[in-house]
Amino acid sequence: METKPTINNQQSRAEFLRSLGLSSAALMAFYCMGTLTSCSSDSDDPAPAPAPPSNVDFTLDLTTSDFSKLKTIGQFAYRDSIIVARVKDGSYVALSKACTHQGTDVQYRLNEDDFWCSNHGSEFGANGVVQVGPAARALTVYKTALSTDGNRLRVTA
């Protein structure tokens, strides 16, 4: 005849609950210590993006390898703290390149005809205005002027 060991159900239940409480507390402590940012006090508060320069005045040579791609609609390039793109309608747009949410460089997307931040998904129109957050402030817009021969693009504040 087989004998089964007797287990005090109340004691094992209490021990189980106690161990569950400790493991949950340990998990939350690990989660909130910085390996994951969900409990971080500043996870919703963006780090300020660097201030865009106000003294912008430069010319891009569109015949050089660094900037020749700007002759093609949908292409973009960075120069210092600015992104320059040839947007869907064929015009040139120059904006501050740092997303105003946390400073990640934005990219131009031809299909959506917008500027997009890969970090948290903010989207900006060609006029710099926020279309989709979490960014709350617009990108700075700079003036562009194409030379008559189409080979030089001047960007100014």
DSSP-derived secondary structure for the chain: ---PPP--HHHHHHHHHHHHHHHHHHHHHHIIIIIS-TT-TTSSSPPPPPPPPS--EEEEETTSTTTGGGGSTT-EEEETTEEEEE-TTS-EEEEE-B-TTT-PBEEEETTTTEEEETTT--EE-TTS-EEESS--SPPPEEEEEE-TTSSEEEEE-
Which structural domains are found in the chain, ordered by start? 57-156 (2.102.10.10)
3-state secondary structure of 23: helix
Which pLDDT score, from 0 to 100, does residue 23 have? 53
**Mean per-residue pLDDT pooled into runs of 10, the chain (157 residues):** 56 58 51 42 52 86 97 97 97 96 95 95 96 94 97 97
pTM as predicted:
0.69
Which pLDDT score, from 0 to 100, does residue 62 have? 98
Q: What φ, ψ does residue 114 adopt, rounded to 5°?
A: -150, 175
Structure tokens at 36: 């994951």
Which pLDDT score, from 0 to 100, does residue 143 have? 97
Q: Is residue 83 a contact partner of residue 108, using CB atoms and an 8 Å limit?
A: yes
Which pLDDT score, from 0 to 100, does residue 20 have? 54
Distance CA(133)–CA(136), nearest Å, equals 6
